[in-house]
């Protein structure tokens, strides 16, 4: 008796370059998000003609921006480590995994915005978007 081959629907072929592309794209999003954090740190406009003391005061006046940068850099870095570890176990992918990955990356790419809001205004209203995006990224 002859065996008939059954074609499977919705099962993508094993494609190692596809999983690599997902990881490379993800790494790029993480790198851009971290870069955007650094771009948010800017001196006040009045620093251009400042003397040593005034420049030092200007640098200290943006201390919340430094703190926001460090915390968010470490958070994004932590998400990247987790993402990296998870993707070491993925042998196959499908459209659902790609969309889940995109949602995670969307949250990571959004982190620079609430970081800038919270570093400018450290009140409860500024904290809510920051906490929400951190909870969504986990």
Please report, for the chain, the start and end positions of each structural domain, with discontinuous segments joined by +: 16-41+50-137
The per-residue pLDDT for 57 is 85
**Of residues 9, 14, 19, 65, the one with CA closest to residue 40:** 65
Q: In which region does residue 110 sit, left (phi positive, over 0), alpha (psi from -120 to 50) or beta (all else)?
A: alpha
pLDDT digits (tens, 9 = 90+) for 16-30: 567 888 999 999 999
Q: Are 40 and 65 in contact (CB under 8 A)?
A: yes
Asked if residue 3 has pLDDT above 70, the reply is: no
Q: In whole angstroms, what is the distance from residue 130 CA to residue 7 CA?
A: 47
pLDDT digits (tens, 9 = 90+) for 40-58: 888 777 666 778 888 888 8
Q: Are 93 and 22 in contact (CB under 8 A)?
A: yes
């Amino acid at each position: 008796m002859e065996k008939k081959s059954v074609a499977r629907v919705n099962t993508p072929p094993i494609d190692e370059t596809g999983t690599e592309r997902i990881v490379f794209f993800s790494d790029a999003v993480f790198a851009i998000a971290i870069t955007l954090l650094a771009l948010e740190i800017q001196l006040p406009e009045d620093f251009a003609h400042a003397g040593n003391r005034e420049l030092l005061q200007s640098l200290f006046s943006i201390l919340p921006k430094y703190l926001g940068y460090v915390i968010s850099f470490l958070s994004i870095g932590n998400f990247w480590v987790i993402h990296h570890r998870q993707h070491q176990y993925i042998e196959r992918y499908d459209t659902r995994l790609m969309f889940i990955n995109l949602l995670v990356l969307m949250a990571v790419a959004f982190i620079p915005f609430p970081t800038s809001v919270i570093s400018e205004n450290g009140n409860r209203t500024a904290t809510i978007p920051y906490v929400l995006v951190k909870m969504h990224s986990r």
